[in-house]
Structure 1
């Protein structure tokens, strides 16, 4: 494999990797949206998201639930931050477009014609120079894109770690939420007792 084929292969591989990473980001983004929806549901349905003190005694289930809710929110925010870092502010490098290559070839052709070379020799030298230029562009672009992809993968893995922890917190919160939601409202209990006393 000559240098041109080698660096072109590396460049194409990094381009494919970029598309793959961008595609993989859709699942974490979807999970964050779902987790945010669950968090909104919890906040709406929870009778009161704060510690309750009754005769100097803490409501243990509400305490556990609020703690789970806090960590769920924390890791959702962390995941969003990591996803933003994985998605935006990356400048990828590309080789020159066809028009720029045409101008470069025309400049080389004019230069070698001015040197008094015959067309066959000039064409051979143009081909050599063009290959060297392509090798340089592929190498530089592949290096930049490789660094970008490595950074994006790192941020994406951090986002996934945060999402996994958020899912664990969601799992821990289910039973406390169930216990809280099943508790009888004391106001309703008082109303029922009062009605029974007046009958």
Structure 2
């Protein structure tokens, strides 16, 4: 059995106005502890506008929306902007993680290696699960890498996973972590 199919204590949930309200309340109470009353304000506003009209005006089969990364206690660990499209020079559908924003405590507190690993693994394995099941079934997953640290982590991850699932190819190309033949 491949690591790609293992479950995790973290999962992605499609954001609704109600669940996004929970995220904002939870994150506001965290941000207050650090005297940050405008934490990720631009991301939150952008996410809220996407949640209000996720696929309006988009071609059939495509997707444009926000998912919330939660733990088993339903705490909001982060949120991610996903879109699904048929890309030029790529056979089949591609699900892309365009950006990820973590909860305030992760910007202000030191994470243990295990906490960081759980968040990254939860995000990736949950995104792969989205590619394999339901309306967002996709042949490819691309995760945008925000900085050189993300890129280094992704390169190590790609090397570690290259023999894990022979049918799924994992690589880093530019600032994107690619999973091909995921479905």
Class of the TM-score when normalised by the shorter of the 2 chains: under 0.3
The TM-score normalised by the length of structure 1 is: 0.18
Considering Cα pairs closer than 8 Å and 6+ residues apart, tell me whether 1 or 2 has the greater RCO: 1
The TM-score normalised by the length of structure 2 is: 0.19
Higher helix share: 1
Higher strand share: 2
Task: Decide which structure has the larger Cα Rg and report it.
Answer: 1
